[in-house]
Amino acid sequence: MRPVVLSIAGSDCSGGAGIQADLRAIEAGGGFAATALTAVTAQNGAGVAATTVLGPAIVERQLEAVFADLPVAAVKSGMLGGAAPLRAVARALRRHRPRHYVLDPVLCAGSGTRLLPRSCLGLLRDELFPLATLLTPNVPEAEALSGVEIRTLEDAERAARTLLGFGARAVLITGGHLAAHPATDLLVTPRRVRVFAGPYLPGRDPRGTGCIHSASIATRLALGAPLEEAVAEAKRLVTEAIRHALPSRSGRGPADPLHRLHAAAPPERARLGAREQRR
């Protein structure tokens, strides 16, 4: 039986990030995806045009519906949107205590639009960090949450140790914004530090990579993988998702974690495609 992985995040109508990216990553990794929406956004590769944050009651009702009916093996959260949904998520996680919780502390969209008010940073640290199996900030998020400027891997380790102090069991600082070490992630636990280096793909800046990465880690944990193995496998998946990103008019198309599923077109699809080309 496939393990159930619950994604708590906002909706991206263009499918590049958020719940939609999480769904594809969970399914690509072998999990069954359940979801709880925290916000609805109108966005694409050019930016976020509008956002509506959902009220805490409907967020909590979604979570209760999933936990009441499905054997949730892992939870991943992304965009929380504000203090009220954040508190609703914290209440549900404290009540149900999932074995694994991967917290992707989404503060801003890739375009720079803020998705969690600055006033909520302390609440995020106090309410959710102590519940997290793993925290997965990128460099700007780690700087904002730790107060440590990050330019090197040594800086990243200092920031991660500061974040561990707020209660998370492990911190993975992703290196997409680390100019000195591109495509290099740093995993810090109370007992060890491990570097995960990957191929840097210049000229590629697709959307949804952080969502895919954290959802993939949650899925591997749900399948029973140890933390370091889960991180390594998720890095391989997100690298290939970047390599096979879809094109878009904005130049920032969605990364595609399901590219392998569609790599070999079934014969009927191939015949239909050839027929369309002849018309």
Instruction: Provide the 8-state DSSP code for 254.
Output: B
The model's pLDDT over 181-201, given as tens digits with 9 standing for 90+, comes to: 778 999 999 999 999 987 777
Task: Give the three-state DSSP class for 39.
Answer: strand
Mean pLDDT across 97-102: 98
Which range of residues forms the domain containing residue 30?
4-278
Confidence of residue 51 (pLDDT cuts 50, 70, 90): very high
Tally of CB atoms within 10 A around 162: 15
Which residues have a Cβ under 8 Å from the Cβ of 258 and sit 6 or more positions away?
24, 27, 28
pLDDT at 169: 97
Whether the CB-CB separation of 210 and 137 falls below 8 Å is answered with no
Nearest residue to 54 via CA among 76, 29, 82, 33: 82
Total tally of structural domains belonging to the chain: 1
What sign results for the dihedral spanned by CA atoms 46, 50, 56, 58? negative
Please tell me the distance from the alpha carbon of residue 73 to that of residue 102, in angstroms, as a whole number. Answer: 12
**Global confidence as pTM:** 0.92
Question: In terms of pLDDT, which residue wins out, 39 or 248?
Answer: 39
Judged against a pLDDT cut of 90, whether residue 262 lies above it is answered with no
Amino acid at 103: L
Q: The CATH number of the domain where 22 resides is what?
A: 3.40.1190.20
Residue 154 near residue 180 (C-beta atoms within 8 A): no
Q: What is the CA radius of gyration of the chain?
A: 18
pLDDT, the chain, mean: 91
Reported as type and span, the H/E element at residue 87 is helix 83-96
The answer, yes or no, to whether residue 241 has pLDDT greater than 50, is: yes
